[in-house]
Every structure is written in structure tokens, then in C-alpha cells.
Structure 1
């Protein structure tokens, strides 16, 4: 199997550690997520690194990612560098690794520095404080202002960190599906639809967003909530058809 490794200049000294980590990914490391993809923490010389293995690559995508489109690991690495250039928080990208066999991409991995954090969904379960939601609204406005749209935007992909003075900052993860586009009002609305928040929390967030964007708060909030409801109905129908498809597949076995 052929392996391609792209390592950030600041971390070239970790070449051996990265190779060993990929070789032993299946048996070593501490698992923090194992759903659609598998994410583990590895330690080296008192430093922690997050390694994400992208799984479930379809046969078509194995060819597409090999020749026509960048792999998810490579996109994660390059998007992280671009976010940092834009002064948007994200864990520092250390490397990406692609393994291929013949015409097919077999595996891909993204390695980043570990950041002490809490996810926003956990914070909002424990506390619904208005200043936090307004700060989050301001963060999302800043993303869009800088032409960054996260197409897997939900609260578990927005981390919260604290600086030395205790100030809360926000940090994006799971960034292989970023798009860099002009922030039209329609794009803003559609992107914010992806956030699953209770009505009261969502209202506070989008009101702050509208204020910073200098939109009419009532008009924007009304449109946003209407589009959000449509999006939720779409997701429910999509989920229903998926369940029916799985059940019909089981019945045919």
C-alpha cells in the first residue's frame, strides 16, 4: 500500500511518530468518537494529538478522492490553515495521511494538536446564559463575514476554549465540509438552519447575529425561524425514508 504524508513544517520532527501512529491506529490510542469516523487521542513527549480516521469511503469515492477531488483528510488540513490565516480558531493542523492501493484511496487520516475544550452543546445543556449565546451569535457572524460557511454546522462542532483571563473563545472542528463563499442573506439563513437549539436559545443567538449584520432583527428572525422549520421537516422526511429503506432491505434478506 502506498502512503502519502503531508506534515506541517513546524512538526517535521514528528515524522516517525506519525508513521507509527498510523501503523498502530487500530490497536492504540484513546477513542473519543467511533461513529461515522473514528477519532483517537495519542500522546507523544507529553503532548496530545488528535487523529481522525475517515471511514466508510464508497467505491466511487475511492476513485474520486484518488484522482478528481481532495480527500477529507487533506481538505481538513488545508481548511485549518486557511481558518488560522483568517484568525478563526481551530486546532492546529499537524499533518494528513493518505493510503492508496492501485486506483483506490483506501484510508485517510487528519492529525491536529489537542485543545482543552468543552463543546457548546454541553455548555448549553448546563447553562443557557444570554452572554454566551450572544457571543456565539457574534462568532457565527464573524465566520460569515470572512466568507466561511461550515456545512456540518452543529453545536458539537463548535468548541469553547478559555484564554488565560478566562475569556471564552470559539473553535471550529470537523472542517472538511467548509465552503468559502460570499455571504449573501440566503446563504446565511441556510447555514444557520443547521444549528439545533431550543427556540429560546436560537432566538437569542440569531437576534445578536442580525444586530451585528445590521439587519432588521424582527424581519430576519421571522425569516430564519420559518426556514428553520422547513429544514427540520425536510430532515424528518429524509430520516423517515432512510428508516423505511433499511427496513425494506432487512425484509428482502
Structure 2
């Protein structure tokens, strides 16, 4: 089954062909352990970004057909919600689900490809030029998301694309969208926790807290203490999990 965003119905044949020949054509963009992303050029103005989700295990095949929306469908629907709320994300174009009597066999999410200048990860890992300005604008972007009750559960360094407008301003685009919650209103703690995975650096948290206080009107010291505590908690769990994985690998040898 293929669902196409109405303004892109003229691309139906191109999308079908790209998905059917996904494993033998297209330009490899991301070869992940779980998912693969390839690019398919339509014309000079549009390149399709097609994400092939890993084939689900048997129980998930059943769940994604009969009880829960697939990751591809969620990505598509969540992207439309983001755009309706003026939150940047690559424009959703289509999603495809292949099923049989048992359940979901495979699925694909199609969106426009954004040629970005960097991801948030570069702000964390390098001394990126104009980094503080980008970071402060990123907080405005995130606060707009929070005001709209959007909890992006994978708000991590690699999932925000950044485009330089070369006038001192930057555009931000969320990717990897299949895990989101939508609220009438987000509590202070939930908003701070939503920023806990974005950087382990205290100096970045300091800047983020300062700017968040400006846009929200909330007390800066309280923002910093809460955001930093959630960040430390997340880092502890993250590194503990890595240590456990290493131990498991060692004992398997």
C-alpha cells in the first residue's frame, strides 16, 4: 500500500519504481544497522530521501499490521503535524507498507532530501564557527516545539539538520520522526528532560539555559539546574548501558 501526499501524486510512478528497485538502485546515504536511507534524484529541485526500515521480527510484524502504526506511517503523519505547527522537518512525500496475511513485511518513508550544512552533532563535537548563535537559535526552535506540545523523544544530536541562510540566521529540521508524543501542554520537567540527550557539555547547557530563560520567562538558575540534572542522569544511564554491552560481548567470546 502506497500513500502519497496530495501535491506529490505526479511522482507516483517514480516513487513506486524507486521503492521496488531500492536494493539495486539509488545513491546510498545511510547504511545503518537497523535502517537504510537512499537518495533518488527527481530533478534539480527535488531529491527523494527514502528510508527503508529493518524488517520487523514476527511479533512486530503482527503488531504493526493489526495493533500499531508502522514506523513509516508514523514518520509520515508526524511530519505533517510538525509542518502544520511550523516546526521544520523535510517535507513528507509518501510512505509504503508491504503486508501479507501474517503482518507487515517491510515499509518505506519518503521525504524531500535536505542538503544541510551541519547537524547538531557538529556543535557538540567541534568548535563550530558561530556555534553560540546557532545554539541560541536552536533553543528558539525547540521552545516553539514545546509550546505546541510536541515531545520529540529522539531529540538527539544527529536528528537535527541545520541549514545556514548566510545572513546570520539558521533553519532547523527534525529527522527520524517515528517516536513522538503530543500533549495539550508540556510540564516544565518534561520540557527539560526533552533536552537531556542533546549534549553532555556543561558549557552548552549553560548557554541553552540562558536562552531558554529569555524565551520562556522562567528562572534561569532553575532551568540550568533541572536541565543539567536530567543530562547527568541520561549520561549515567547511557554509559552504564555501554559498559554492560561490552561485558556481554566479552563473556560471549
TM-score (norm 2): 0.91
Conserved in 1, the CA contact under 8 Å of 2:79 and 2:92?
Answer: yes
Q: In structure 2, do the counterparts of structure 1 residues 197 and 234 end up closer, same or farther at CA, with 3 Å as the change threshold?
A: closer
1:12 pairs with 9, 12, 19, which one? 9
Deviation at 1:162, TM superposition (A): 3.9
* Residue 59 of structure 1, CA deviation: 2.1
- Measured after TM superposition, the shift of residue 165 of structure 1 is 5.3
Post-superposition offset of 1:214: 1.6
Supply the distance in 2 between the matched residues of 1:227 and 1:11 (Cα, whole angstroms).
Answer: 42
- Structure-2 residue corresponding to 1:175: 177
1:139 to 117, 126, 141: 141
User: Aligned partners of 1:59 and 1:105: how far apart in 2?
Assistant: 9
Matched, 1:41 2:21: no
Greater shift, 51-60 or 79-88, is seen at 51-60
Instruction: Write the deviation string for residues 41-87 of structure 1: whole angstroms up to 9, x where unpaired.
Output: 11123331100011152222111101100000000000111111101
CA-atom RMSD in angstroms: 1.8
Instruction: Give the Cα–Cα distance (whole angstroms) in 1 for the partners of residues 157 and 244 of structure 2.
Output: 25
Secondary structure of 1:43's partner? strand
Whether the 8 Å CA contact 1:128–1:201 is kept in 2: the answer is: no
CA distance in 2 between partners of 1:45 and 1:137 (Å): 34
Q: Which runs of 5+ in 1 are unaligned?
A: none
- In the alignment, does 2:227 pair up with 1:224? yes
Please identify, of 94-103 and 127-136, the stretch whose mean Cα deviation from structure 2 is larger: 127-136
Q: Is the 8 A contact 2:75 2:109 kept in 1?
A: yes
Map of 2:156 onto structure 1: 154
Query: What is the total number of aligned residue pairs between the two structures?
Result: 247
Quick one: which of 197, 201, 204 aligns to 1:201? 204
Tell me how far apart the structure 1 counterparts of residues 202 and 189 of structure 2 sit (CA, whole Å). Answer: 21
C-alpha distance after superposition, 1:77-116 (max 9, x if no partner): 0011111110111111110001112212111100001122
TM-score (norm 1): 0.91
Deviation of 1:163 after TM superposition, in Å, equals: 4.5
Alpha-carbon shift at residue 8 of structure 1 (Å)? 0.9
CA distance in 2, matches of 1:147, 1:178: 10
The match for 2:91 is 92
Contact 1:140–1:209 (Cα < 8 Å) also in 2: no
Measure, in 1, the Cα distance between the counterparts of 2:92 and 2:166: 22
The 3-state SS of whatever aligns with 1:160 is strand
Structure 2 unaligned spans of 5+: none
Q: CA deviation at 1:207?
A: 2.0
Instruction: Provide the C-alpha distance between the structure 1 equivalents of 2:144 and 2:209, rounded to a whole number of angstroms.
Output: 13
